[in-house]
Structure 1
């Protein structure tokens, strides 16, 4: 029997459907975590922040959202960083989207169905949808976006998610079929919420613009249209008056303002000069949670704080050194308590504790400085020949520098000498996924908010454009493949555990704690649906002022 999701009748789609797991599954020192876990639970299950009971949404106004760093460009396939994802989510639509409980839901496809053998997914498209350039959205546009995505020249971060798609073929103008080479029981979730989902851009815009112009002037079907970008200052979006969802959006425009200094951000939101801070460090949470005019939001622990090692060159091409530093030489409880101010959980596993498929591997990496020193000595490093290297991070959040500084002190106890380099986010990205890729030793950041263990493949598979540790181990790819081939939840859990243990055994990924995602908004911002870093939708947001 085919599995179906219908946007009009509300029928549930069986494959890949899941609900968030319960909050607070691990004990953790610090009562503040309990308090914020309650906020998490309320935010997820009510779904809407700033709900104005009985009030009708008001049209008009400008929402000003603060980002701590600028973007590099707008190309939905290759632009790195959550800041550009959040902006692009409001310029574009995906074929499917995530509902408030993070399950696949209709978007540009009003319903879909899967063949009994799991090899064909058929999507039935909304009719009458226009791109911002006035051209039509239809099945051929979906086919073109797929062919563009899998073209190596597009440098798509999500190309690997669609490697098992043999072809995409229009059935008629508003029906399109994805034919798979082998079953993928997570495919609806991939299309709905892996990174952007299957985001749709205008084929005509791509064909008529130069590459540079296309990267600077995004053209989608979304609720807001791109108006201007003043680098390192602001990006402005304006209402799409021909938006295909009747009556939406409510806002006239959205301004994404770049404010690098954390205290400037705090001052601006307290004074009412801006409406929302889109990402907060824990230190700012402590300041703003006392302000009656500001709501601080947090979410499930789906993002890890990492101290990833580049494994293809010295010193971390030696597994003994990787285990000394990334496993036994890292005090994760101290990082969660001090650098994260008790708002996070210690983490050894590759994924956050609320990711589908998570396995607690904490016992496999206890803090053991003596064992770490022994491994370093075995690898040739001691007081006469100390290990020396650089910890690289960026200026997006103060917590990154705080974690790096704490790691530096922990490693010093092992006789390891490190220096910390803090770059602006755009420059740092060139070392992760750009022209300087793999030319670093260790990096601290929070990467990445994911729905399932399998979701993390785009930044950890061998050969993936965003493979951060730069490993070339093809067994990792096969372990990811086995997860999506598993037809039951129990089998996917078992195969996820096998992958997580393999990644840890080889230290291809180093998590140090979870990294809860915080946002802050003024009380007059209404009907904002909080979904952490996974989704940032403004089409139903309005201002009560």
Structure 2
């Protein structure tokens, strides 16, 4: 379809960035953790596939990361940004043709069978490379996985592959599933995709459509004295106003990923026993994105794209759409990723006159009706702010003679 799409995948210079906020109970927050109890939290979606080895997305991770573990996870305290999970160490060869993982000993799957390097090899070759939505790109040159012993997995690549690429992919793209559960039958149709069997601190227990997901404590977890909780309930609350009400009423204790309306955050922050925080979301920064379809003749012209960038009043979007809970960004890499972030990139100030001049230079003069050409605008169907920005962008483009037709998907 012609036009451009608002989504979270890539970002033009100068688009808005929102750090997700979380409301959690304050009492006992800094105290010594106590054993037992149940945590009830809001879930704003119901993933059809709970296998993160196949579907690497926030909605799936939100539930399944407590059940299915990765080789390593993101860490904001360590110097290299990673913390061990199923792998204790990872080392890349100088020629870029192999990466060696040393695995954790004594880990068991939820059905009691031992976790070994064979599970890692199977997950990488049979799922991450051919089936995973993101792994198909990262692991496209993975040729084989050697398993010299139960606690060693050596990834061999057909072409030199940057070790940094593999390292950065581990927290999101290295969920390991049990070979003995998936090796028979079609992987995509395996019932374990909807009732995962993992090595994590919690076991999948129950799902009631439209109501909740229930996880129970893994009493045989490899983590010493973990987990503390006996149970986690993900209460399905797709409407953020309902999540805010449930939080204030004490029906839930956690509303993550900005599961409550931004307009309610200030009020909720003053409710005794509740706290609004952003720490811990460094690797999940919400980014409001404008994706442009370069196959459209008009949008293939750099002057047209620059004009669109100049037409967007980012400060207005931050104050009006995000109520100040956001900051303008310079590109797809957020400031809280200093390893890759740089502010030394071109930015485009809000300047309607400049935008109109660029479109004139590109040869798209306004017609008698004041219009230059028409585009289709597809706002992503999640987060109210994304939809509101779609309405704003349509008006901003109209101000420079571009007729943007909103298409609901």
Q: Could you state the TM-score of these two structures normalised by the residue count of structure 2?
A: 0.81
| Offset at residue 296 of structure 1 (A) | 0.7
Report the secondary structure of 1:276's partner residue.
coil
1:344 matched residue in structure 2: 326
In the alignment, which of 30, 51, 60 is matched to residue 75 of structure 1? 51
| Offset at residue 362 of structure 1 (A) | 6.3
| Offset at residue 264 of structure 1 (A) | 1.2
| Offset at residue 175 of structure 1 (A) | 1.6
Q: Count residues with an aligned counterpart.
A: 375
1:179 matched residue in structure 2: 156
1:414 aligns with 2:397: no
1:295 aligns with 2:272: no
**CA spacing shift, 1:116–1:286, aligned 2, 3 Å:** same
Taking the TM superposition and a 5 Å limit, the aligned residue runs for 1:185-334 are 185-187=163-165, 189-193=167-171, 196-208=172-184, 211-212=188-189, 213-280=191-258, 281-299=261-279, 300=282, 302-313=285-296, 316-325=299-308, 327-334=309-316
**CA spacing shift, 1:387–1:285, aligned 2, 3 Å:** farther
1:135 aligns with 2:113: yes
1:397 matched residue in structure 2: 383
Residue 72 of structure 1 contacts residue 79 of structure 1 at CA under 8 Å; is this kept in 2? no
Q: Which has the higher contact order (CA 8 A, sep 6+)?
A: 2
**CA spacing shift, 1:395–1:293, aligned 2, 3 Å:** farther
> What is the alpha-carbon distance in structure 2 between the residues aligned to residue 271 and residue 417 of structure 1?
45
Taking the TM superposition and a 5 Å limit, the aligned residue runs for 1:43-82 are 52-53=29-30, 55=32, 57-79=33-55, 81-82=57-58
Taking the TM superposition and a 5 Å limit, the aligned residue runs for 1:88-99 are 88-99=64-75
> What is the alpha-carbon distance in structure 2 between the residues aligned to residue 110 and residue 240 of structure 1?
21
> What is the alpha-carbon distance in structure 1 between the residues aligned to residue 376 and residue 113 of structure 2?
50
> What is the alpha-carbon distance in structure 2 between the residues aligned to residue 392 and residue 360 of structure 1?
29
Structure 2: gaps spanning 5 or more residues: 1-17
> What is the alpha-carbon distance in structure 2 between the residues aligned to residue 366 and residue 54 of structure 1?
47
1:365 aligns with 2:348: yes
Residue 143 of structure 1 contacts residue 170 of structure 1 at CA under 8 Å; is this kept in 2? yes
Higher helix share: 1
In the alignment, which of 340, 364, 368 is matched to residue 380 of structure 1? 364
| Offset at residue 414 of structure 1 (A) | 1.3
In the alignment, which of 110, 134, 148 is matched to residue 88 of structure 2? 110
Report the secondary structure of 2:288's partner residue.
strand
Structure 1: gaps spanning 5 or more residues: 1-32, 41-48, 424-545
CA deviation string 1:363-404 (max 9, x = no partner): 532222223223434353624444333432345322222322
State the Cα RMSD in Å: 3.1
**CA spacing shift, 1:261–1:187, aligned 2, 3 Å:** closer
CA deviation string 1:200-226 (max 9, x = no partner): 011222234653324322222111122
More off after superposition, 199-208 vs 265-274: 199-208
> What is the alpha-carbon distance in structure 2 between the residues aligned to residue 320 and residue 125 of structure 1?
52
2:7 matched residue in structure 1: none
| Offset at residue 115 of structure 1 (A) | 4.4
Q: Could you state the TM-score of these two structures normalised by the residue count of structure 1?
A: 0.62
Residue 129 of structure 2 contacts residue 135 of structure 2 at CA under 8 Å; is this kept in 1? no
Report the secondary structure of 2:256's partner residue.
strand
